[in-house]
A and B are shown apart, each in its own frame.
Chain A
Amino acid sequence: MTRVWRAARLPVLIAVLLLLVVVLTVLLRGGVARPPLDPESYQRDGGRAVARLIADQGVRVVPARTLEDARREVRTAGGTLLVTAPDLLEPGVLAALVDESESDVVLVQPGPRALTALHLPVRIAGQVAESVREPDCTLPAARKAGRSTIAGLVYRGEPGSQSCYPAGEGAGLVRAERITVLSTGFANSLLDEEGNAALAMNLLGGGRTLVWFVPTPTDPGLGGGTKKFTDYLPDGWVFGGVQILVAVLLFGIWRARRLGPLVAERLPVTVRGAETVEGRARLYQRAGATDHAAAALRQATVDRLRPMLGQHGDEGLVAEVARRTGRTDIPELLYGSTTTEAELINLATELDAVENEVRRS
């Protein structure tokens, strides 16, 4: 049991520490982290404020956090579709979703892949720092809203599109048919500045409902299927890895091939000479055969004393030993009986003492 604990305590300790760290982080972060522009998020980059404003206007705001939800809501509820992070969707999937929607679509900061997939006449023009810009166009939603905060990617609209809020070499808002590409968001923190709130409400509050799609990377329906781990690795690493496996196999073949067979040898039996003696001693001890053991010790002493003293009879021997040692307990010592183990040990030492005395006398 202690061995099991000793082996397991380090991993257990590490697991407990990890758990503690996770629990503490979650507690300190104060709730579940939500993606930017989430309609429920109170954080600086959240979208709670604008969602409430739009809802107050009588527009039904339908949040969708998975692709499946978004599709269903677009099909059933219709209305304006807002995609807060179009780059998280596979281009084909995004295109299909936009096709399904029959009214306005607002994309926040789409990347080049999303733009090409949707065949929009819009290109990325560059990137600008956060700044306030004039609408400078005829689009009613922008004109009514006035100045607005533009940050991040800006776009260049090709003929057939309307561009507003020029910034750098592009524009912060480009509209092509029913699709609006918006460079800045309407995060909680920006909503009280300039015409940001008005612009968001003009763009999003046009229909009776608003499907607010917040794609998350953990959505299993994203991308039309799950991506394998290797899909995220560059090909060089993947195939380099395969080739390393080949190398490992070659190393394995190198190590596995012996230089000739193992040599076996028939070894002789090993029987310790004193083994039977030890076995007999254990038998004595287990059976508590003190009398047997004592008899053996006594006999051995008598056998050693007899030739020394030249006595053949038992009585003669006892008398001679008693005379030489001056002890009176010789008869029981040499021919008595022994019952306990303490007596046995005592007997052994006494016999030794007598033998030594006789030897010296």
Chain B
Amino acid sequence: MALTARAGLLGLISALGVGLLLPSWTGVLVGTGAILALCGIDLLTAGSIRSLTIVRKATGNVRLGEPAETTLVITNPGRRAVRGVLRDAWVPSAGAATDRHPLRVPAGERRSISTALLPTRRGDRRADRVTVRSLGRLGLAARQRSVDAGGVLRVLPPFHSRKHLPARLARLRELDGRRASLVRGAGTEFDSLREYVIGDDVRSIDWRATARAADVMVRTWRPERSQRVLIVLDTGRLSAGRVGDAPRLDAAMDATLLLSVLATQAGDRVDFLAVDRRVRASVPGAALPDTVNAMAPLEPELVETDYRLLTSEILRRARQRALVVLLTGLDSGAIRQGLLPVLPMLTARHRVVLGAVGDPAIGALAQGRDTVQAVYEAAAAERTLAERRELTRLLGTHGVQVVDAEPDQLPPRLSDMYLALKAGGTR
């Protein structure tokens, strides 16, 4: 039950009546009783909300930053029209512009009400209960009820690095093209023979074919297809740090998306894995929509990543040699005590690339010279950067290539690294 402002106004009018006409306790009793009686009658005339059915149409997915809409269908099987207000409550980050809607459903009919949403956070944004307030004929009192109509809006990562994709795909086609390979190494497949043109490496001349043909023939190779790429996302504490206005995890996701699209285009099989102390998400043979969907609800957890678990999961998934792209942070403690002890198991079987999100703020701090505090900050920043360089070097000695880049640079740099590996044919 709920009252409206009209009930209060009626109270003020009755005060006038009591004061002028019947200034006694009887007057107060009569005035108050009259208002309550009117409110009661009004409640009885209000359309029934108990029989109202509220169903939400499927809301679906939306990329972060794009608008969405959710629709409720309200059916009134009762004998009286339902007139009043409806509130479709969502969590604040779902970005509902206005969640209150006027409601008027005649008896036996149905109406749909749409709420515009503009989510401000990635992940599953849930609807709260739907509240209906049905006003009486006089507009003094209303019946009110909240029902759970369900509803989840899955907000997908935005894939900002999509803009880098055309250039990388062009490079991929170039690789795939009829260029004579320098070396006949592992990881390249024999493609075809063609005539020698100036500029081709003389080492790629196929002398047997030249002997059979009138011209000098060269062998061409193309990057091996159907390799396995395993992208591993560390969702532990290292991914929680906020760089700019998004956590490191979001930059890592962007890199994952760009890389998986590129690798899929290159004919490789991409698997996706997200781990901290347990496996958060796992998509084998990931098509892009599946990966995006699996990533959407991931949030950084404030726990130390279990690198032993991470390694065993990788080894369990990739039995043949694969390219393992590990997206984590360059933190001295975590790398030295967590990753390095288990790294040989990985590098023995797979090629490992480590992607880390650097913070431009640290670079800016390292430039500070104005005050004593700024210089101390610069020194601390330099020490951190030196540590990162040292870790990069250390990982290099274990055969791990490191891509340490700022959030917007990580996806293209990681893709370039992949293309370089592809071109080199090294596994």
A137 at the B interface (CB under 8 A): no
Do the beta carbons of A278 and B386 come within 8 Å of each other? no
Contact present for A259 and B23 (CB under 8 Å): no
Check B144 against A243 for contact (C-beta < 8 Å).
Answer: no
Check B8–A274 contact: CB distance below 8 A.
no
Interface check B384, CB cutoff 8 A: yes
Collect the chain A residues with CB atoms within 8 Å of residue B10's CB: 247, 250
- List which A261-290 residues lie within 8 A (CB) of chain B: 261, 263-265, 267-278, 280-282, 284-285
Q: Is residue A345 within 8 Å, beta carbon to beta carbon, of the partner chain? A: yes
Q: B129: which A residues are within 8 A, CB to CB? A: 260-261
Contact between A246 and B14, CB atoms less than 8 A apart: yes
C-alpha spacing A271/B241, complex, angstroms? 5
Docked complex: B77-129 residues within 8 A CB-CB of A: 85, 87, 89-93, 100, 121, 128-129
Which residues on B sit within 8 Å (CB–CB) of A349? 369
- A270-B242, A281-B376 are contacts. A250–B2 as well, Cβ < 8 Å? no
Asked if A310 is an interface residue, CB under 8 A from chain B, the answer is: no
- Report B-chain residues with C-beta under 8 Å of the C-beta of A250: 3, 7-8, 10-11, 35
Name the A residues within 8 Å of B385 (CB-CB). Answer: 300
A179 within 8 Å of B (CB atoms)? no
Measured between beta carbons, the chain B residues less than 8 angstroms from A300 are: 366, 382, 385-386
Tell me if A348 is interfacial: C-beta within 8 Å of chain B.
yes
Q: Which one of B23, B377, B384 lies within 8 Å of A240 (CB-CB)?
A: B23
Residues of A within 8 A of B383 (CB): 280, 296
Indicate if the CB atoms of A236 and B7 lie closer than 8 Å. Answer: no
**What does DSSP make chain B's interface, helix, strand, loop or mixed?**
helix
Expressed in whole angstroms, the minimum distance between the Cβ of A260 and any Cβ of chain B is: 3
Q: Which of A246, A292, A303 contacts B15 (CB 8 A)?
A: A246
| Distance, CA A259 to CA B145, complexed state (A) | 9
In the bound complex, do residue A296 and residue B382 qualify as a contact, i.e. CB atoms below 8 Å apart? yes
Question: In the assembly, what is the distance between CA of A296 and CA of B382, in Å?
Answer: 6
Chain B residues contacting A272 (CB-CB under 8 Å) are 241-242, 361
Tell me whether B240 and A294 are in contact (CB under 8 A).
Answer: no
Q: CB-CB < 8 A to B381: which residues of A?
A: 274, 277, 281
Q: Which of B26-34, B42-50, B175-183 contacts its partner? A: B26-34
Give the chain B neighbours of A267 by CB distance below 8 A. Answer: 93
> Is A5 positioned at the interface, with any CB of B under 8 Å from its CB?
no
CB distance from B182 to the nearest CB of A (A): 27
Give A225 Cβ to nearest chain B Cβ, in Å: 22
B51 CB-CB contact with A under 8 Å: no
A-chain residues with CB within 8 Å of residue B386 when the two chains form the complex: 296, 299-300, 303
A18 at the interface (CB under 8 A from B): no
Mark contacts of B184-196 with chain A using CB atoms, 8 A cut-off: 1 yes-contact digit, 0 otherwise: 0000000000000
- Whether A236 pairs with B20 at a CB distance below 8 angstroms is yes
Min Cβ gap B340→A in Å is 20
Q: Indicate whether B416 reaches chain A with its CB closer than 8 angstroms.
A: no
Query: Is the beta-carbon distance between A269 and B28 smaller than 8 angstroms?
Result: no
22 pairs across A/B with beta carbons < 8 Å?
A: A235-B24, A238-B23, A239-B24, A242-B28, A243-B28, A246-B14, A246-B35, A247-B10, A248-B11, A250-B11, A257-B1, A259-B85, A265-B92, A270-B242, A274-B362, A274-B365, A280-B380, A281-B377, A282-B376, A293-B376, A293-B380, A300-B386
Give me 15 other A-B pairs in contact (C-beta within 8 A), A239-B27, A240-B16, A261-B128 excluded: A239-B28, A242-B18, A243-B31, A251-B11, A254-B3, A260-B128, A265-B91, A268-B121, A268-B240, A273-B357, A276-B384, A281-B379, A293-B375, A297-B379, A349-B369
Task: Name A's B-contacting residues (CB within 8 A).
Answer: 234-244, 246-251, 253-254, 257, 259-261, 263-265, 267-278, 280-282, 284-285, 292-294, 296-297, 299-300, 303, 341, 344-345, 348-349, 352
The 10 closest A-B pairs by CB, nearest first: A240-B19, A247-B11, A260-B131, A293-B379, A251-B8, A243-B15, A273-B241, A300-B382, A281-B380, A235-B23
